[in-house]
Amino acid sequence: MNNGLIIAAPASGSGKTTVTLALLRLLARQGLPVRGAKSGPDFIDPRFHEAASGAPCVNLDAWAMHPARLRALAGEGAGLLVVEGAMGLFDGAPPDGRGAVADFARELDLPVVLVVDAGRMAQSVAPLVAGFAGHDPSVRVAGVILNNTGSPRHAAMLRDALAPLGLPVLASLPRDSALALPSRHLGLVQAGERADLDSFLDHAADALEASLDQDALLALATPLPPAGSAARLPPPGQVIAVARDAAFAFSYPHLLTDWHTAGAELRFFSPLADAPVPDADFIYLPGGYPELHGGRIAAATNFMSSLKNASQDTVIYGECGGYMVLGDGLIDADGTRHMMAGLLRLETSFATRRMHLGYRHLRPLQGIFDTAFTGHEFHYATTLSARGDPLFAARDAGGAALPDMGLVAGNVQGSFAHVIDLAHSPR
């Protein structure tokens, strides 16, 4: 039976991603079967997991997914499952924190390894860890990894302070600027954009290996519950064209797998390479970073003309970045306006950024979809104008009504929301 464990932290920025990647690469290069998963709605970290482990990585979302769905996704694949948490261990959606990695830990009964950024503390590490370990008896903090230690003497001081708690200190990573991960407004710079990714992953693995009690860490992992079966997202067409490149990189693997498993054929293409849209009966433009590639997208005449032609008799659906590309124009951070496809009456801008963030309950008002979804919104675009019929009625994580989302015009539809799963009753 496959085992699993969770890498979590008291807060964002503690080093969870670096530790997770280091562990995945270390075990993978030893020939041990290992795979990663990311808690919550994240498109970027999972691609790093895949590069580190050589195995597919899935998102596991305790807010947006039914418990059966969580178990099914966690149980797909072989080897140790290393789940990277999001934010702090008990941080979730408002108003009550539902969907925190702690919820996932309870649901799958997995142990938590707490990563603590100890760069600016000494003996105070003990009450911090004790507080997290004792906060909820149903969430088992089983070990600690110290990050950002200043010296061997500092690491020893921290270990001494933690000794009375009886929790194993599994490793201590020294402060190292080479382990920093560069980021931009939606998260880390994408894995595919880093020419030095392999050397970074090996360096992180070396740093962890130097102090890791690997046997103790592996002994903490516990069996995953039986996977069972769960409802899947039905394919919106038999042949689905999917945009995929640096500007359209934000698609959930479980969504594409659902479609493929149900018998749909997926045809991938790159708008940035000016590839024409493949013949299909549904076209999917995922989110990504069109604002960084506005000029290239606008100049991709083969892509644009084939997209416009396809819109006459083929359903086109865009999420977030893909939604903006379906609009009339996109203004980048420098204030330059780029002509987009002109299939929706939509103008968006990054000249003045404003963050939009949160889970969404989505109910289709029209268009191809006929079932409700859970989803997520995370972008910095400002909508200058949006004219037409809306796609979704929306509520936030707490159930409060939001303005209708998205647009529909003939066969073309989209919104800023990323669909995660079929709607289900909150736990």
CB contact at 8 A, 337 and 324: no
Three-state DSSP state, 274:
coil
Per the listing, tokens 């979809």 go with 369
Cα distance between residue 115 and residue 28, in whole Å: 21
d(CA 2, CA 49): 18
Q: What radius of gyration, in Å, describes the C-alpha atoms of the chain?
A: 22
Q: Contact, 243 vs 307, CB < 8 A?
A: no
Q: State both tokens at 419.
A: 């669909």
Choosing from 320, 331, 340, 412, the catalytic residue is: 320
Q: Tokens representing 116?
A: 């603590």
**Angle subtended at Cα 59 by Cα 58 and Cα 65, rounded to the nearest 5 degrees:** 125
Give the pairing of strands 418-422 and 222-223: unpaired
Residue 76 to residue 78: CA distance in whole angstroms:
7
Nearest alpha-carbon partner for 345 in 401, 406, 256, 277:
406
57: annotated active-site residue = no
User: Residue holding tokens 């498109």?
Assistant: 43
Catalytic residues: 320
